[in-house]
Amino acid sequence: MTGLRTDLYEIRMAASYLRRGMTAPATFSLFARKLPRDRGFLVSAGLADCLRFLADLRFTPDELTYLADEVHLPDEDLAALEALRFTGDVWAVPEGRVVFADEPFLEVTAPLPQAQLVETALLNHVTFQSVVASKAARCRLAAPHAGLVDFAARRTHGLEAARAVARAAVIAGFGGTSYVAAAREFGVPAVGTMAHSYVEAFPDERAAFRAFAEDFPDATVFLVDTYDTLHGVRTAIEVAQDLPADRIGVRLDSGNLGELARATRRLLDDAGLSGARIVASGGLDEHALADLASAPIDVFGVGTRMGVSSDAPSMDSAYKLVEYDGNPVMKLSVGKLTAPGAKQVHRGAPGRPDLLSLRDEGTPADREPLLRPVMRGGVRLADPEPLSAAQRRCEQDLRWLPEQARALTGPTPLDVVWSAELTELTEALHRSIAARNDLAHA
């Protein structure tokens, strides 16, 4: 079921184009009009789901029946939609790369009805997943030496979102996820220990810890704050005396995590458990991680605030027609002017502004083009890659990123310079559209 996974207007427009034979190639560009507040960069994510959606696109008989009965599309439209597959080309920035406003995440070139129909799904996947990957990357930057794991599944926007969040977090440098379905699908470590309810289900904390150590001797992390954190640490130490120190740990989930971690570390070390790890969780985000930079915490479980990108749960993304039937197009809406033509982003050495140009301008010798062809004639040009490839790209790009774009508060994104050709085309087309539409103000 993919055909109806779109907004109604996409179907209406596609039907209208099909009736009129407006099936010439159209290029749409998907980009962020501006970065969310407190973001100095974005991490590209969501492409894999986009390509899967495009490859699977079709209207099932049930869906066509719905369009006949409820949207009142005539038989000629239904026949055309029934035959419709995605046969276009896609250029895209690989997942894990850092991008900025105005830089396309991807560009689709396909017969106009196809390129239009897929707008909703492509925008959705890229917007959501890039927003979360960007938030996760900020967490990664805030705690460069600690292990980070995704604990967000319980409060993401649905369980499909939990899957995508785990994936985006791993791209950004997280080492594992608590969400088992995602760990399995993406081949990353599943992580997790015990909840407060486990402790409460036993007569007392000591009994619970003993049972857990007995059942999971290979990965025994005791949740110590159910009743009183440091008391819980002492109980864990007693229970752990007979276990190998490198396989045990304690998890702190409430209170002043920095102070508690220091006191816990002392208690563990004094008990000869210097190999035991400290895991911290509970309401963490990049700012909390930065505040805890000096605390002796080995692993952070980062949950809700990363998984919903709490301070910027979306961004001002757009999927805009930039060329139809060989002609560049643009819109002039107040505050939403778009630049025409298929594009390329050229990246240079650290500190140099990115260069945004028309796609066919060519890349200067000392720069690298970010957009690559990933689908041609509706066929993927490569097998799906392992997540580790995107993770490596992200790690490299985060190192490349200028200090002021990495800043957790008040970051400044890298500048994006437009090529002379792109600027000239934009201005000339603005004048031409104004003339064609009798706009006095232009």
Cα 143 from Cα 122, distance rounded (Å): 32
Nearer to a copy of itself, 202 or 400 (CB): 202
Half-sphere exposure of 384 (CA within 13 A, CB side): 12
Phi-psi region of 406 (alpha: psi -120 to 50; beta: other; left: phi over 0): alpha
Cα 282 from Cα 252, distance rounded (Å): 8
CB of 4 to a copy of itself, least distance (A): 4
Cα 171 from Cα 392, distance rounded (Å): 8
Cα 348 from Cα 369, distance rounded (Å): 9
Nearer to a copy of itself, 338 or 357 (CB): 338
CB of 366 to a copy of itself, least distance (A): 35
Residue 150 CB contacts under 8 Å (≥ 6 apart), including other chains: 136, 165, 166, 169, 170, 174, 176, 177, 178, 179, 301, 302, 303, 306, 307
Nearer to a copy of itself, 196 or 367 (CB): 196
CB of 401 to a copy of itself, least distance (A): 25
CB of 404 to a copy of itself, least distance (A): 26
Looking up tokens 């911290």, which residue turns up?
A: 280
Cβ burial of 46 (10 Å; 0-12, 13-18, 19+) is: buried
Supply the DSSP symbol for 383: P
Query: Which of 126, 96, 99, 94 is closest to 28 using CA atoms?
Result: 126
Nearer to a copy of itself, 206 or 367 (CB): 206
CB of 210 to a copy of itself, least distance (A): 11
Nearer to a copy of itself, 25 or 378 (CB): 25
Nearer to a copy of itself, 254 or 404 (CB): 254
CB of 392 to a copy of itself, least distance (A): 23
Query: Which of 260, 309, 251 is closest to 281 using CA atoms?
Result: 251
Cα 126 from Cα 30, distance rounded (Å): 9
Nearer to a copy of itself, 131 or 355 (CB): 131
- Helices in 204-248 by DSSP H: which ranges? 205-215, 229-240
Nearer to a copy of itself, 85 or 157 (CB): 157
CB of 75 to a copy of itself, least distance (A): 15
CB of 104 to a copy of itself, least distance (A): 15
Nearer to a copy of itself, 320 or 347 (CB): 320
CB of 134 to a copy of itself, least distance (A): 14
Query: Which of 99, 122, 119 is closest to 49 using CA atoms?
Result: 122
Four-point Cα dihedral 127, 131, 132, 137, nearest 10:
140
* DSSP secondary structure string for all residues of 301-337: EE-HHHHTTTT-S--EEEEEEEEETTEE-----TT--
Phi, psi of 94 (to 5 degrees): -60, 150
Nearer to a copy of itself, 8 or 83 (CB): 8
Alpha carbon distance, N-terminus to C-terminus of the chain: 45
CB of 302 to a copy of itself, least distance (A): 13
Cα 21 from Cα 32, distance rounded (Å): 31
Cα 373 from Cα 367, distance rounded (Å): 18
